[in-house]
């Protein structure tokens, strides 16, 4: 195995914090939230109560359910404490949300006492977290982020699972539902169902070209690669650079749309090259514009998935430009890209698909 990744995910996070802080709630079926619940304790999940369910529905399923108010501030403090604990011990990590994260543990396992006893490492990790925050988590080990994330969900709560290699991972996912893959959303699943594609094994029959046609380059390729265990994106928290930009100040003020388009295209090509050289992707594209009266505006758009293609950066920047209210002649124009990541992990939304269908296009980024 090339790399060894660990994914941790806190168990019933908001509910567990509430139960930790109030002994009366321990061992009880509780839900956090009132209108729509954010999460439920495992005691409540036995009755089918889960995240994003209405309180009315939850109460029907579990009449003795106790509702607790959401205290996001408190969960955020606890989540950050967990992140600090990870940062203290490890070098390469990436936090996906307040209660989950990836850690590259390769160097701590290879040629160490844990090489043939990874369970021991997992137990030490779980104990380290528990000792410090009094909460349990589930852990997954894999050869990349996706396999580690899927593994951490297999033995929840307070459990762990290890994919020793790619073959074991592929065997495991073969007959599972598509929803097991992170980044493939509910609406995508509904869309694929129209073609009788519900399981990973059905998805193997779809050619790469077709996936790209339906879901666009980024997403299509992602789906194709991920189910073959070939989607790899490194954990790299050494990426400190948060944005790249290019801009030009015109000698003369100008407002020729054709020249402006040409300039934006040039800048997008440069930015795309820079991202590709570093194998990075950007999620936010910002247009900066200065008028001849020296007022400066910046306007950003965050797209649904990260990109490093010049065409996509260009189209987004151009669209922002077209929507700007023209204040004066232009002195300076520039594009900046930010929210830089090493991964292009996609989240397809229903809106994307609808727009793709309406436009009859392959990509629905705008």
For binding to ligand TTP (CB under 6 A), which residues are involved? Answer: 9-14, 38-39, 51-52, 99-100, 156-157
Query: 182 or 245: whose CB is closer to Mg ion?
Result: 182
Q: Which candidate, 284, 352, 279, 269, places its Cα nearest to that of 314?
A: 269
Query: Can residue 18 be called a binding residue for Mg ion (CB under 5 A)?
Result: no
Cis peptide preceding 260, ω within 30 of 0 = no
Residue written as token pair 């109560």 = 49
Residue 65 CB, nearest approach to ligand TTP (Å): 15
From the list Mg ion, ligand TTP, none, which binds 39 (C-beta under 5 to 8 Å, kind-based)? ligand TTP
> Residues 118, 249: contact at Cβ < 8 Å?
no
Chain positions 99 to 118 lying near Mg ion, rule: CB under 5 A, are 99
Cα within 13 Å of Cα(115), Cβ side = 7
Cα within 13 Å of Cα(121), Cβ side = 24
From the list ligand TTP, Mg ion, none, which binds 157 (C-beta under 5 to 8 Å, kind-based)? ligand TTP
Query: 11 or 263: whose CB is closer to ligand TTP?
Result: 11
**162 CB burial (10 A radius; 0-12, 13-18, 19+):** buried
Q: Is residue 100 annotated as a catalytic residue, yes or no?
A: yes
Which residues have CB under 8 Å from 147's CB, separation 6+? 5, 140, 163, 166, 169, 229
- Of 18, 100, 221, 280, which one is the catalytic site residue? 100
Chain positions 63 to 102 lying near Mg ion, rule: CB under 5 A, are 99
From the list ligand TTP, Mg ion, none, which binds 38 (C-beta under 5 to 8 Å, kind-based)? ligand TTP
Residue 277 CB, nearest approach to ligand TTP (Å): 35
Residue 9 CB, nearest approach to Mg ion (Å): 4
> Residues 142, 305: contact at Cβ < 8 Å?
no
Query: 4 or 137: whose CB is closer to ligand TTP?
Result: 137
Residue 39 CB, nearest approach to ligand TTP (Å): 3
> Residues 321, 287: contact at Cβ < 8 Å?
yes
Q: How far apart are CA 47 and CA 27, in angstroms?
A: 14
How long, in residues, is the chain? 366
From the list Mg ion, ligand TTP, none, which binds 221 (C-beta under 5 to 8 Å, kind-based)? none
Chain positions 285 to 324 lying near Mg ion, rule: CB under 5 A, are none
Query: Can residue 9 be called a binding residue for Mg ion (CB under 5 A)?
Result: yes
């Amino acid at each position: 195995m090339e790399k060894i990744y660990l994914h941790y995910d806190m168990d019933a996070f908001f509910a567990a914090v509430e139960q930790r802080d109030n002994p009366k709630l321990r061992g009880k079926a509780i839900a956090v939230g009132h209108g729509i619940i954010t999460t439920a304790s495992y005691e409540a999940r036995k009755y089918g109560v889960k995240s994003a369910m209405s309180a009315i529905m939850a109460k029907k399923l579990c009449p003795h359910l106790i509702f607790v108010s959401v205290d996001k501030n408190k969960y955020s403090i606890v989540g950050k404490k967990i992140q600090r604990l990870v940062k203290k011990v490890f070098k390469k990590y990436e936090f996906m949300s307040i209660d989950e994260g990836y850690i590259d543990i390769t160097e701590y396992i290879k040629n160490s006492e844990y090489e043939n006893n990874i369970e021991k490492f997992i137990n030490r990790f779980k104990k380290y977290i528990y000792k410090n925050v009094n909460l349990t988590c589930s852990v997954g080990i894999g050869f990349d982020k996706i396999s580690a994330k899927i593994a951490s969900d297999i033995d929840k709560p307070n459990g762990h699972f290890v994919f020793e290699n790619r073959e074991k991972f592929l065997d495991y996912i073969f007959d599972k539902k598509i929803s097991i893959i992170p980044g493939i959303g509910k609406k995508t699943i509904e869309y694929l169902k129209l073609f009788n594609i519900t399981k990973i094994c059905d998805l193997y029959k779809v050619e790469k070209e077709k996936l790209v046609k339906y879901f666009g380059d980024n997403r299509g390729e992602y789906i194709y690669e991920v189910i073959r265990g070939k989607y790899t994106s490194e954990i790299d928290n050494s990426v400190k650079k948060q944005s790249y930009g290019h801009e030009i100040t015109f000698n003369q003020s100008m407002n020729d749309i054709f020249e402006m388009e040409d300039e934006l295209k040039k800048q997008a090509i440069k930015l795309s090259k820079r991202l590709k050289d570093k194998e990075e992707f950007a999620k936010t594209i910002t247009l900066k514009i200065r008028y001849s009266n020296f007022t400066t505006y910046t306007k950003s758009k965050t797209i649904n998935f990260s990109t490093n293609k010049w065409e996509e950066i260009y189209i987004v920047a151009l669209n922002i430009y077209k929507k700007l209210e023209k204040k004066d002649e232009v002195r300076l124009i520039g594009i900046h890209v930010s929210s830089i990541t090493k991964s292009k992990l996609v989240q397809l939304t229903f809106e994307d698909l609808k727009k793709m269908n309406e436009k009859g296009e392959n990509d629905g980024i705008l």
